[in-house]
Amino acid sequence: MSLISPACRDALQHWLDSLSALAGRSENTQAAYRGDVTEFLSFMTLHHNERQGLAPLARITVSDMRAWMADQRGAGVGARSLARKLSAVKSFYRWLSEREGFEPTAVLSTRAPKFTKKLPRPLAEDAARAMIDTVELQSTNDWISARDVAVVTLLYGCGLRISEALSLTGRDAPLPDSLRILGKGDKERIVPVIPAARTAVERYLQLCPHPQSRDKALFRGVRGGALNPRAIQGVMAKARMQLGLPATATPHALRHSFATHLLSAGGDLRAIQELLGHASLSTTQAYTAVDTARLMEVYNRAHPKA
């Protein structure tokens, strides 16, 4: 941070502290934001050939923003990464302008580069079932096999994020007919629990050697602590290699598979949006991957005028 003035350094730290306190951003997110904004401030220091105090920051122009973005692209930064960096800079400027009382239009009006949002490809229905069956074979320890099957079944059967499945605690067992899930942005949703998921979790609980507690993680690691998501990522990586599936067959791809297979079977897009916990219907549309022929088949069967 040697290129950044003490005033800017203090402002950056206060902003990060506010993110932690008010928005609950993770340490990894804060570290990424710190790096992105630090790079931006350092560029502006070199670009103007002077250390950027708070006053010069208030005078940054559209031309300055274009110069920074051109520098980033010239350094090989991709469109997706640049969009993320710009988002961090805008967030910092929005906070700083309110605090210092200046007009941040030049920064906030800067358009992010367009890019195609890549999402994990959903598995075919038979591949999803095969994944669950093959995950069970990855450990010689019965309780670990049962645990992994239970987690993967929740991802595919209920559309949970892996973080949501691993945030379940002993008070959630035995699983009810529906779960109250707190997702991204503290958005709460109700998720129905299919019988297969309840059965898988019950089998895991019967075999798990670690005593359950209402306040402790439902899914445990080998030593009894909360299960690390890397364990599920690893067991799925082994299973997909055995099945000949692509590297996109990840835990998160099972959530996409859940949505896609529901839509393919004639599920209502709005209902699927609620099940996934998406704020925007467009996000749900991007999440699903149903071929046009299948959509037309559902349309012709379900539309009252068909």
> What gap in Å lies between CA 279 and CA 282, rounded to an integer?
9
Let me know the angle formed at the C-alpha of 293 by 288 and 295, rounded to the nearest 5 degrees. 45
CA nearest to 157, candidates 240, 255, 249: 255
What residues are annotated to the active site?
161, 184, 252, 255, 278, 287
CA nearest to 34, candidates 14, 53, 6: 14
**142-204-223-148 Cα dihedral, nearest 10 degrees:** 80
Count Cβ atoms below 10 Å from residue 94 Cβ, excluding itself. 14
Residue 290 one-letter amino acid = V
What tokens were used for 270? 């709005």
CA nearest to 238, candidates 136, 106, 160: 136
What tokens were used for 179? 């779960």
CA nearest to 246, candidates 116, 119, 120: 120
Q: Any bridge partners for residue 192, and if so which?
A: 178
Inter-residue contact 123 to 262 (CB < 8 Å)? no
> What gap in Å lies between CA 110 and CA 83, rounded to an integer?
10
Backbone angles phi, psi at 95, to 5 degrees: -65, -45
